[in-house]
């Protein structure tokens, strides 16, 4: 595997850190702003950031209830994303979508469906249009392992294979290490197939299985996949496996691993507590920080400077979101129908 | 004007629209079902074959495909076949298509047409004869089109294919062979404009789709009894032309509403409630609904005939409210 160019690796790291600090802010703000049920992207940042790095701005994307990371990773304004999560007027969707449906059309997001499997069909439809339009663009459909339990996954994989549609299926399998089968635990996916990628393989779809916490590996697989899509070779199914972040085990996410301390990347002896193993071995942010400094791509100071910038941006975003007004209640029945398309 | 079948009018509309807008493409081409008129589709295949795909039996996926393609700049025409199969794509149409524009705060539109054949057609039995328009009306964000004549089939389909919103067009399976006068060339009927199909002063009969033909037959029978019925066809349920119906009821003071779906929470129920709420003081008699009973559709011909709406049942209801 060839590592991506240094500037790409720095960009991937900055995206990952933005995702992480956004989700920490969401968890923090959920204490004072009860916005309900939400899903954090912590532990999966390497996948989203590296796939996004492999896309062009003209490519499209669909995503799910676990969308926050994808949105800011692709350049959505973190102020508007956070305001949307709080249901405020300045949110990306004007408060009509909330955490489950954060969307930014200008960043190529067509649909953020919180129906499990929804993003697969919609992303495939977008790819059908892109193929017809003949401009060489592709669509990335992000979804979790649970989506493979849905019937629409099989139907659309079959169609995409038959019609050789330029769709990158990004299956973020975050169930490794999940304890869903145990009584009282939050459920995770259950499939009879020994591996998820065996399902698209049976339809003749090209697949790749990667460590979803290894940003360079994800980038290499995604870049290969996107090249194949642009060459008209048909869909690619990328299964990115991550060890489940401990904070996502309960229904209500908790920062069980604490606010990320970047210095732990180089001071593992300071890592302690119940979740030390995840932090030491799995946390994709700390892993990538070590990779980049070991490879001489960045110094610790470079990464700390990125972190300072990201933290400043997130502090400003929290202030902005908290100060954003509620939508005008009289607008509740507006925008059901489009006046033009 | 040319005298052509409903099926011909529908294909004419598709042909005109595909010729003028290259974004329009077809996902599924069994627009006319598997009956004797299906060969009319060959004209579309000959002229626009590269814009027509025939998918496998995957209604959920093809509805979703149409929505995603519309979001990405296409204008797909998605053929579902028999309306009962829409239930396979129900989550997609209700939970994705109908919600997309609203829940994105207006960022994303879904300019797609979903076409299907609805209604009792003789031998459909329980799983091939649904009329899901009332169920669709209960889901926000979806336009619902119910042509009743060849003229409407052409004019409304032209508008549906230009709409920026998800639009479901339900053609009654028994209307495909109906002949009527249709304007040649470019011709549109805007969505949301009802038509008074027959004028009369004594009772208003509101009907859609095939029920319009039955209501007109009933009106002829009623005329023999000295009752002049006004037949009003909303033509689209969303958008809904409330004013034309209220104006007719203000004139006649009596209302019968006809719908092929079963009665509970039917299109007839909604229209009856709307009139009762807005124009109770105009009514000289209680409103009557004529619908199927709340049963699955039986196969055997006498059983199907028993539950089907027909002109006699409509005329009886009209006589009742005029009595």
The pLDDT tens digits of the residues spanning A80-90 come to 999 999 999 99
Domain B195-322's class? alpha beta
List of chain A residues whose C-beta atoms are within 8 Å of the C-beta of residue B74? 128-129, 132-133
**Domain spanning A6-321 has what CATH number?**
3.40.50.970
Q: Can you give the pTM of this predicted structure? A: 0.96
Which of A80, A98, A106, A337 to mutate to probe the B interface, most B CBs <10 Å? A337
Cβ proximity of A141 and A124 under 8 Å: yes
Which residue in the set B69, B92, B109 is minimally distant from A338, CB to CB?
A: B109
pLDDT (mean) for A212-239: 97
pLDDT at residue B171, as a whole number: 98
pLDDT at A246: 87
Q: Is the pLDDT of residue A105 over 80?
A: yes
Contacts A126 to B, Cβ<8 Å = 68-69, 71-72
The CATH superfamily assigned to B2-182 is: Thiamin diphosphate (ThDP)-binding fold, Pyr/PP domains (3.40.50.970)
Whether A250 has a pLDDT exceeding 90, the answer reads: no
pLDDT at B240 > cutoff 90: yes
Q: Which residue of B has its CA nearest to A59?
A: B72
pLDDT value, residue A183: 47
**Contact (CB<8Å) A94/B62:** no
Mean predicted confidence (pLDDT) in B281-305: 97
The pLDDT-based confidence of B3 (bands split at 50, 70, 90) is: very high
* Residue B115 falls in the annotated catalytic set: no
Same fold, B2-182 and B195-322: yes
CB contact under 8 A, A103 and B25: no
Residue B116, phi then psi, degrees to nearest 5? -155, 160
B-chain residues near A103 (CB < 8 A): 103-105, 107-108
In this predicted complex, what is the ipTM? 0.95
CB of A41 closer than 8 Å to CB of A69 = yes
Question: pLDDT, tens digit, for every residue of A113-162?
Answer: 999 999 999 999 999 999 999 999 999 999 999 999 999 999 999 999 99
Average pLDDT, chain A: 94
Interface of A with B in 150-189 (CB under 8 A): 151-152, 155-156, 158-159, 162-163
Annotated catalytic residue within B101, B115, B118, B128: B128
User: Angle, to 10 degrees, between the axis of helix B242-252 and the axis of helix B267-279?
Assistant: 60
* A128–B92 CB contact, under 8 Å: no
What integer pLDDT is reported at residue A180 of this predicted model?
Answer: 46
pLDDT value at A188 more than 90: no
- Contact across the interface for A110 and B105, Cβ inside 8 Å: no
Domain ranges of chain B: 2-182, 195-322
Torsion of CA A64, A68, A71, A76, to 10 degrees: 140
How much of chain B exceeds pLDDT 90, in percent? 98
pLDDT single digits (tens) B16-51: 999 999 999 999 999 998 888 899 999 999 999 999
The residues on B that touch A, with CB distances below 8 Å, are 25, 27, 51, 53, 55-56, 58, 60-74, 76, 91-92, 95-96, 100-111, 140-141, 143, 164-165
Q: Which residue of A has its CA nearest to B98?
A: A336
Cα B173 to Cα B197: distance, rounded to the nearest angstrom: 21
Cβ of residue A332 closer than 8 Å to a chain B Cβ: no
């Amino acid at each position: 595997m060839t590592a991506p160019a240094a500037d790409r690796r720095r960009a991937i790291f900055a995206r990952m850190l933005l995702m992480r600090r956004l989700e920490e802010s969401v968890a923090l703000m959920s204490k004072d702003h009860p916005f309900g049920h939400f899903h954090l992207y912590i532990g999966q940042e390497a996948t989203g950031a590296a796939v996004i790095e492999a896309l062009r701005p003209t490519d499209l994307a669909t995503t799910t209830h676990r969308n926050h990371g994808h949105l800011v990773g692709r350049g959505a304004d973190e102020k508007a994303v956070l305001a949307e999560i709080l249901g405020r007027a300045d949110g990306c969707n004007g408060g009509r979508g909330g955490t489950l449906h954060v969307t930014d059309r200008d960043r190529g997001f067509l649909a953020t469906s919180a129906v499990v499997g929804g993003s697969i069909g919609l992303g495939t439809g977008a790819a059908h249009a892109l193929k017809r339009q003949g401009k060489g663009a592709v669509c990335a459909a992000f979804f979790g392992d649970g989506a493979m339990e849905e019937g629409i996954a099989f139907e659309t994989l079959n169609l995409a294979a038959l019609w050789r549609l330029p769709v990158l299926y990004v299956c973020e399998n975050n169930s490794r290490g999940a304890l869903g089968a145990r009584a009282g635990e939050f459920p995770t996916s259950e499939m009879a197939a020994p591996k998820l990628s065996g399902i698209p393989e049976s339809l003749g779809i090209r697949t790749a299985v990667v460590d979803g916490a290894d940003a360079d590996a994800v980038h290499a697989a995604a870049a290969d996949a996107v090249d194949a899509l642009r060459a008209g070779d048909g869909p690619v199914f990328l299964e990115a496996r991550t060890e489940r972040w401990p904070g996502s085990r309960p229904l209500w996410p908790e920062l069980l691993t604490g606010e990320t301390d970047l210095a732990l990347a180089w001071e593992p002896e300071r890592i302690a507590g119940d979740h030390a193993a995840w932090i030491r071995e799995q946390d994709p942010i700390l892993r990538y920080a070590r990779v980049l400094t070991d490879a001489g791509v960045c110094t610790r100071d470079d990464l700390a400077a990125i972190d300072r910038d990201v933290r400043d941006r997130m502090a400003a975003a929290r202030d902005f979101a908290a100060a954003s007004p509620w939508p005008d209640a009289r607008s509740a029945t507006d925008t059901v129908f489009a006046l033009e398309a | 004007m040319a005298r052509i079948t409903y099926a011909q009018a529908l294909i004419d509309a598709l042909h005109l629209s595909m010729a003028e807008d290259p974004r329009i493409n077809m996902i599924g081409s069994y627009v006319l079902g598997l009956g004797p008129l299906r060969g009319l589709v060959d004209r579309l295949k000959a002229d626009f074959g590269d814009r027509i795909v025939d998918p496998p039996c995957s209604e959920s996926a093809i509805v979703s495909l149409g929505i995603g393609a519309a979001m990405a700049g296409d204008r797909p025409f998605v053929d579902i076949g028999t309306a009962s199969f829409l239930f396979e794509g129900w989550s997609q149409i209700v939970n994705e298509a109908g919600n997309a524009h609203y829940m994105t705060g207006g960022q994303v539109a879904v300019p797609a047409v979903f076409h299907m054949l609805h209604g009792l057609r003789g031998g459909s039995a329980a799983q091939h004869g649904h009329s899901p328009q009332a169920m669709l009306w209960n889901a926000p964000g979806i336009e619902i089109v119910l042509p009743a004549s060849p003229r409407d089939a052409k004019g409304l389909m032209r508008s549906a294919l230009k709409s920026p919103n998800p639009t479901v067009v339900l053609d009654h399976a028994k209307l495909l062979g109906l002949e009527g006068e249709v304007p040649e060339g470019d011709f549109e009927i805007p969505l949301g404009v009802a038509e008074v199909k027959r004028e009369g002063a004594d009772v208003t009969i509101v009907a859609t789709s095939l029920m319009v033909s039955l209501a007109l037959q009933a009106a002829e029978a009623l005329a023999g009894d000295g009752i002049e019925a006004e037949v009003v066809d909303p033509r689209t349920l969303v958008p809904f032309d409330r004013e034309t119906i209220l104006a007719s009821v203000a004139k006649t003071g009596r209302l019968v509403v006809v719908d092929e779906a079963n009665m509970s929470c039917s299109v007839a129920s909604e229209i009856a409630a709307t009139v009762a709420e807005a124009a109770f003081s105009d009514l000289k008699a209680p409103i009557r609904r004529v619908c199927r009973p709340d049963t699955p559709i039986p196969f055997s011909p006498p059983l199907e005939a028993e539950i089907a709406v027909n002109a006699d049942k409509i005329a009886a209801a009209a006589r009742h409210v005029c009595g």
